[in-house]
């Protein structure tokens, strides 16, 4: 609304001040991106000519001290852990959201919501601690060594469950009430109402919540590091230990030098790119849905 | 029949989720309480953290948070005001700032750790210190804080902007006395989100503020955050589980207390101006 | 501005129904054309607004009446791609081309909107904020002016016991009268009203209408209304806007009685009789 046309000294001064603040922030944002590029540059520069920089994406062996920088197992593990967590958390979270929105009595719903809110605020390292001291021994007693892909998936599932349940519940809650009245008038059963009317109508809210949770799972470092076993290998079974990209950075940054260090920055860039792709996708989903509402 | 099975499935989902979450929560509370005593808050850690308390770690955590908020809040609020009230909708600078903010809001915290290590610790020569850790956290929470506040300001009714302009008021007055107080819920939400993220952060701090668990003497000293302490106890210290759970309990409580504090501070600051129905 | 301050500040000296207008133009509008982007919404409007009179602007929705009003206090400046051409003469200045301090201008030309837009502050702060903004530093003076403005709009008796509670809790009609008081407290010369009664229920609308009648003589009022009966009851002069080829134009302007009883233009006659029947 305010748009252009500043007509007095006070506003000119504030505008100037804010412009400085915004420029400083813009500069900071640019510095973040430039530094990530700059620090990973040596890695690419040394391998650009012979094309071995692509090894980063498909190379199988990660022996940084012998200049073998293959991240494929870790990339695959990251994806496996993330996909596993989302596949588990999505139905559970969505089911809880439906329960919260349509089945629970008001008092129950309130306590459930409180529980979800508290757990959404619990630091990931606490989930990691719990996974390490509770879950891993449990899995060990069944299928050693315990610290495994499965443990990582379960811990991440718990971590993103509250987020998915809460965002889905609020997406369901924002479905216009007229739809409900309409479906009641048609005499639809409750399950058909939910499946055929509410879920489709809340689709964009739910999917953007899920995509954000996916980004969180992909970017999570310590909770996964603490329970996944951290052996660099392709994720071949649920009970095999794996190492994900983020954990690799955390484990090796302390002593990495030269190209090794640069390769860690390169994997940071790769992660950023993946998350970027996801959030771009989330934007697209929300926008497409808005347009469908406008013209549909 | 279908209806029966469907409601049954939903109930099972909800029950499973409640049970799992309660399991985690009760473990943290019970095991934490078992190892907790008031002395735990005021003692220095001994024997790599197995014994003693977490006093220096709490102090470091609060310093990190303080640095992060002091830098990120004014900057973030300024950028949010500029984006929503001053930047014209077709300004290229505003648009690219917005896009960059969106990207950075989703960047994993370990990547911020990489950046903080390269920029603050090495390039600016701050080394492993509270300052470089706090500044890294500031970079991390800035995008989210800006976006929440900006959205909050944009949803404030245009009627008030128009009314203020028609009375010959400056935008500065309108922003300060009307728009910011009206956007209070979003500002509180952004603040709580930021505090939560900054206090819970581990990965971004590993290579910026470091591991040292002594009481920090200055902001250029290394200091160990509570979350890092939990990580270290669980991973590197055998027999540190009890202390780790107690620290986890303290961390969760700390976040809840800080959020309540932030909420009431912002509320009391704005309540003086704003009288809602 | 001095001239303004010396005025005694009471209403009701002027008997209702008596011709109160000085046939002396307060605002002279010549060839006013308003457009947004590539679209022209109002073309070549010329008319005089007479001092102390109520001028009603009638016509169908979307024919540029609101755009006309917001050009008069330069609120159109704040619309992203609005362009206004022509001349608006006020106090020897061309508001569109001479350097004008819009903040002072908007103090002299107040505006009331269709939807009541009291700020989310207390009733008292709603009036105090604009006064402070325009440099009325003396507490007692402010106090006096606020009380007088609330008395002028007939709110004082209704709200004097809850001046410090929220303005948002008032009823729609009270909110609109508070907005009028908020404009009056700045002692303007001209009041622009954009359908001030259309969002109110019939009783509240009648109260506001009576208030507008009482403003006649003391203030120059320009009121946009869709209610022809209301225009007829309150106005001294009336202008009829119509859209030809999607561009708003002023079809007829003259004394209210004349326009309603013996319109010279066929369109006017049709609109008035159509709305009547």
Any domain includes C7: no
B160 contacts in chain C (CB < 8 Å): 117, 119-120
| Residue of A18, A95, A265 lying closest to B86 (CB–CB) | A18
Q: Is C87 exposed, middle or buried (CB count within 10 Å of its CB: 0-12, 13-18, 19+)? A: middle
Measured between beta carbons, which residues in chain C are less than 8 angstroms from residue A11?
A: none
Angle A75-A76-A77 from CA coordinates, rounded to 5°: 90
Q: Is residue C154 part of a domain?
A: no
- How far is the alpha carbon of B166 from chain A, nearest alpha carbon, in Å? 12
Residue C35 has pLDDT above 50, yes or no: yes
pLDDT tens, position by position, C248-264: 889 899 888 888 888 88
Q: Where are the domains of chain A?
A: 9-50, 62-295
Structure tokens at C5: 């301050």
| Assigned CATH for A62-295 | 1.10.3720.10
In angstroms, what CA-CA distances link C214 with C12, C27, C50, C160? 6, 21, 17, 21
- For C157-188, the pLDDT digits (tens) are 999 899 988 898 899 999 999 999 999 999 99
The answer, yes or no, to whether residue C8 has pLDDT greater than 70, is: no
Interchain proximity B168–C186, CB inside 8 Å: yes
Confirm whether C91 is domain-assigned: yes
Asked if residue C20 has a cis previous peptide bond (ω within 30° of 0), the answer is no
Q: Flag whether pLDDT at B262 surpasses 50.
A: yes
Neighbours of chain A (3+ CB pairs under 8 A): B, C
Buried b (16+ CB within 10 A) or exposed e, C6-44: eeeeebeeeeeeeebbeeebbbebeebbbbeeeebbbbe
Q: Which helix (H) or strand (E) holds A9?
A: helix A9-47
Angle CA B29–B33–B34, to nearest 5: 120
Q: Per-residue confidence at B277, pLDDT binned at 50, 70, 90?
A: very low
Give the range among A57-61, B117-121, C43-47 with minimum mean pLDDT: A57-61
Helix axes A106-120, B2-35, angle to 10 degrees: 50
Q: Which two three-digit tokens encode residue C24?
A: 């002396």
pLDDT of amino acid A204: 82
DSSP C236-262: SEEEEEEEETTEEEEEEEEEHHHHHHS
Asked if C103's CB is within 8 angstroms of A2's CB, the reply is: no
Verify whether the Cβ–Cβ distance A1 to C101 is below 8 Å: no
Q: With respect to residue C101, please indicate whether it lies within any of the assigned structural domains.
A: yes
**Residue of B168, B169, B171 best to disrupt the C interface, most CBs of C under 10 A:** B168
What pLDDT was estimated at residue A291? 66
The answer, for B165 touching chain C at a CB cutoff of 8 Å, is yes
Looking at residues C91-107, what average pLDDT do you find? 89
Q: How many domains does chain C have?
A: 1
Instruction: Write down the pLDDT at residue A292.
Output: 65
Q: What is the pLDDT of residue C92?
A: 85
Distance CA B197, CA B204 (A): 11
* Per-residue pLDDT, C275: 58
Given a cut of 50, whether residue B175 has pLDDT beyond it is yes
Q: Is residue C170 part of a domain?
A: no
| pLDDT score of C111 | 94
Rounded CA gap, C57 and C53, in Å? 13
CATH number of domain containing C108: 3.40.50.300
- Structural domains in chain B, CATH included, are 29-271 (1.10.3720.10)
Residue C206 lies in a domain: yes
Chain C contact for A5, CB < 8 A? yes
Question: Residue C87 belongs to what domain range?
Answer: 22-117+190-276
Question: In this structure, are residues C82 and C18 in contact, taking their beta carbons and an 8 Å threshold?
Answer: no
Could you say which residues of chain A have pLDDT below 70? Answer: 1-5, 289-296
Element of type H or E holding B6: helix B2-35
* Res A76: pLDDT: 93
Please determine, for residue C118, whether its predicted confidence score (pLDDT) is greater than 90: yes
Instruction: Give the confidence band of C7 by pLDDT, cuts at 50, 70, 90.
Output: very low
For the residues of B224-258, what is the DSSP string, one character each?
--HHHHHHHHHHH-TT-HHHHHHHHHHHHHHHHHH
Q: Is residue C272 part of a domain?
A: yes
Chain center to CA of C106: 12
CB-based contact A222 B9, cutoff 8 Å: no
| φ and ψ at residue A62, rounded to 5 degrees | -110, 90
Mean pLDDT of C226-243: 90
Give the C-alpha separation, B69 to B262, whole Å.
11
CB count within 10 Å of CB C243 equals: 17
Cross-chain Cβ contact A125/B202 below 8 Å: yes
- Let me know if residue C125 belongs to a domain: no
Residues of chain A contacting residue B171, judged by C-beta atoms under 8 Å apart: 2, 6, 11, 14
For B31-74, the pLDDT digits (tens) are: 999 998 888 888 888 888 888 889 999 999 999 999 999 999 99
Q: Is B235 close to A4, i.e. CB distance below 8 A?
A: no
**DSSP reduced 3-state for C69:** helix
Neighbours of chain B (3+ CB pairs under 8 A): A, C
B267 or C209, which is more confident? C209
**Closest by Cβ to A8, choosing from C78, C79, C103:** C103
């Amino acid at each position: 609304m305010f748009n252009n046309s500043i007509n007095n000294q006070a506003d000119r001064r504030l505008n100037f001040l804010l412009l400085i603040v915004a420029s400083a922030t813009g500069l900071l944002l640019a510095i973040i991106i430039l530094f990530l590029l700059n620090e990973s540059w040596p890695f690419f520069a040394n391998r650009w000519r012979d094309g071995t920089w692509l090894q980063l994406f498909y190379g199988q062996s990660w022996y940084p001290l012998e200049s073998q920088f293959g991240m494929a197992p870790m990339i695959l593990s990251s994806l496996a852990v993330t996909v596993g967590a989302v596949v588990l958390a999505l139905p559970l979270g969505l089911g809880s959201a439906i329960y919260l929105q349509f089945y629970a009595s008001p008092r129950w719903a309130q306590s459930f919501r409180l529980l979800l809110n508290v757990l959404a605020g619990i630091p990931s390292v606490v989930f990691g601690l719990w996974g390490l001291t509770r879950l891993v021994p449990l899995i060990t007693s069944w299928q050693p060594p315990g610290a495994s892909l499965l443990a990582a998936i379960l811990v991440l599932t718990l971590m993103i469950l509250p987020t998915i349940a809460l965002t889905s519940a609020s997406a369901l809650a924002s479905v216009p009430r007229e739809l409900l009245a309409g479906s009641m008038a048609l005499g639809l059963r409750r399950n058909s109402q939910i499946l055929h009317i509410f879920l489709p109508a809340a689709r964009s809210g739910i999917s953007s919540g899920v995509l954000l949770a996916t980004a969180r799972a992909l970017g999570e470092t310590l909770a996964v590091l603490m329970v996944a076993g951290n052996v660099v290998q392709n994720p071949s079974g649920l009970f095999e230990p794996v190492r994900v990209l983020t954990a690799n950075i955390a484990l090796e940054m302390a002593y990495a030098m030269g190209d090794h260090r640069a390769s860690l920055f390169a994997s940071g860039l790769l992660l950023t790119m993946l998350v970027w792709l996801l959030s771009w996708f989330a934007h697209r989903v929300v926008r497409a849905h808005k347009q469908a509402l406008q013209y549909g | 029949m279908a209806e029966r099975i469907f409601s049954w499935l939903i109930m099972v989902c909800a029950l499973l989720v409640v049970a799992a979450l309660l399991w985690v929560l009760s473990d943290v509370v019970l095991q934490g309480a078992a190892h907790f005593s008031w002395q735990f808050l005021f003692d220095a850690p001994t024997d790599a953290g197995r014994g003693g308390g977490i006093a220096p770690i709490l102090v470091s955590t609060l310093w990190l948070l303080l640095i992060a908020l002091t830098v990120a809040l004014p900057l973030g609020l300024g950028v949010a005001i500029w984006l929503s009230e001053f930047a014209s909708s077709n300004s290229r600078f505003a648009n690219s700032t917005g896009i960059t903010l969106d990207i950075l809001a989703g960047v994993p915290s370990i990547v911020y750790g990489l950046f903080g290590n390269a920029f603050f610790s090495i390039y600016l020569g701050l080394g492993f210190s509270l300052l470089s850790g706090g500044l890294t956290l500031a970079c991390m929470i800035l995008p989210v804080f800006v976006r929440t506040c900006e959205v909050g300001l944009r949803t404030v009714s245009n009627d008030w902007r128009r009314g203020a302009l028609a009375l010959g008021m400056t935008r500065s007055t309108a922003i300060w006395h009307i728009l910011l107080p009206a956007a209070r819920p979003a500002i509180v939400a952004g603040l709580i989100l930021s505090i939560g993220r900054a206090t819970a952060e581990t990965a971004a701090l590993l290579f910026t503020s470091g591991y040292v668990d002594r009481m920090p003497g200055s902001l250029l000293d290394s200091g160990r955050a509570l979350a890092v302490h939990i990580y270290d106890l669980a991973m590197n210290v055998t027999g540190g589980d009890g202390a780790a759970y107690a620290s986890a309990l303290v961390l969760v409580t700390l976040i809840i207390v800080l959020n309540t504090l932030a909420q009431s501070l912002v509320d009391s600051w704005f309540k003086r101006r704003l009288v809602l129905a | 501005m001095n001239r303004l301050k010396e005025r005694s500040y009471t209403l009701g000296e002027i008997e209702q129904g008596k011709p109160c207008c000085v046939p002396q133009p307060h605002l002279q509008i010549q060839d006013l054309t308003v457009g947004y982007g590539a679209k022209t919404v109002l073309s070549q409007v010329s008319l005089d607004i007479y001092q102390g009179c109520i001028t009603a602007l009638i016509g169908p929705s979307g024919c540029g009446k609101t755009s006309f009003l917001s050009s008069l206090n330069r609120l159109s400046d704040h619309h992203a791609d609005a362009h206004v051409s022509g001349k608006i003469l006020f106090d020897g200045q061309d508001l569109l081309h001479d350097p004008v301090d819009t903040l002072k201008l908007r103090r002299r030309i107040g505006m009331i909107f269709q939807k009541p837009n009291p700020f989310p502050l207390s009733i008292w702060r709603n009036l105090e904020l604009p006064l402070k903004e325009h440099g009325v530093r003396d507490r007692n003076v402010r106090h006096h002016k606020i009380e007088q403005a609330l008395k002028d709009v007939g709110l004082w008796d209704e709200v004097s016991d809850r001046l410090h509670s929220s303005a948002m809790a008032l009823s729609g009609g009270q909110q609109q009268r508070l907005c009028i008081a908020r404009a009056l407290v700045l002692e303007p010369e001209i009041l622009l009203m954009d359908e001030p009664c259309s969002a109110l229920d019939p009783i509240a609308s009648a109260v506001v209408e009576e208030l507008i009648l009482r403003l006649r003589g003391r203030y120059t009022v320009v009121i946009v209304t869709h209610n022809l009966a209301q225009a007829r009851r309150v106005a001294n002069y009336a202008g009829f806007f119509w859209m030809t080829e999607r561009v708003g134009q002023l079809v007829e302007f003259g004394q209210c009685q004349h326009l309603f009883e013996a319109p010279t233009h066929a369109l006017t006659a049709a609109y008035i009789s159509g709305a009547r029947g």
